[in-house]
Amino acid sequence: MPVVKRRPDGIAGTMLTTPLLDGVPPSAVEALAGKGRLRNYRKGTYLCHQGDEADEIFFLVGGRVEISSVSVTGNRVLHATIEGPQFVGELGVLAASDRTASVLTLEDSEVWVAQSEDFLSFLAEEPAAARGLLRALARQVEANEAFVDDLLFLDLKGRVAKRLLQLATPTLDELPKDGVMIPAITHADLASLCGGSRENVTRILSELQRRGLVVREGHRYVLKKVEGLAKIAGL
């Protein structure tokens, strides 16, 4: 009879659902999970601050966090909001440098925390995990290049429409369906993601609502006409 490999339960099983650990033996992930500990963070708690030593790796088991930094001019810049399960802070650990951004919980969150050296040893011993991290790095480089292209070739309205769509789906290769609700985001944070001012982004959102492309429900937006937004975004 064929041997059926047991899928780990708990943290290790959750970790194995992430692309970064695709192809890594479950036993190795179990060993990694055993080197960390679970922590519960209340909403509004920092996992780390910009400028801190990157001596820990985080895995967001459940909840939601934002990654932001303060620019040289003193302005807050939002980089991303992340929902679990997903590794967080792995790039700073790999670079062996101080944190370039802060990580703040947007809701009560459960986080696995381990020492950076344990994570680096795991990468050295597991080529599949190292390749997964390289893929993550490549995607980040591609995202940064795409953002630069957007700044050059899309007006602010196009960038706002594109970012709204990106908040609703992990990839724009397949657009979401009409009626999808995006995570809660402030006008200031959306402006930061689009490279515009809060005032101009607010004006554009109002226009999109008047045209029936989006509607606001509480603190969240619903994308009512995805194809219309995609057209504005040049997709």
**According to the model, what pLDDT value does residue 3 have?**
35
In angstroms, rounded to a whole number, what is the distance separating the alpha carbons of residues 64 and 227? 28
Q: Quick check: 132 and 19 in contact, CB under 8 A?
A: yes
85 preceded by a cis bond (ω within 30 of 0): yes
Q: Name the pTM for this structure.
A: 0.72
- 85-133 pLDDT tens trace: 989 988 888 877 788 889 999 899 999 999 999 999 999 999 999 988 8
pLDDT confidence bin for 4, thresholds 50/70/90: very low
Q: Which of 215, 217, 209, 190 is nearest to 201 (CA)?
A: 190
* Domains of the chain and CATH, by start: 10-142 (2.60.120.10), 155-232 (1.10.10.10)
Q: Quick check: 78 and 25 in contact, CB under 8 A?
A: no
In angstroms, rounded to a whole number, what is the distance separating the alpha carbons of residues 193 and 187? 10
Q: Quick check: 35 and 102 in contact, CB under 8 A?
A: no
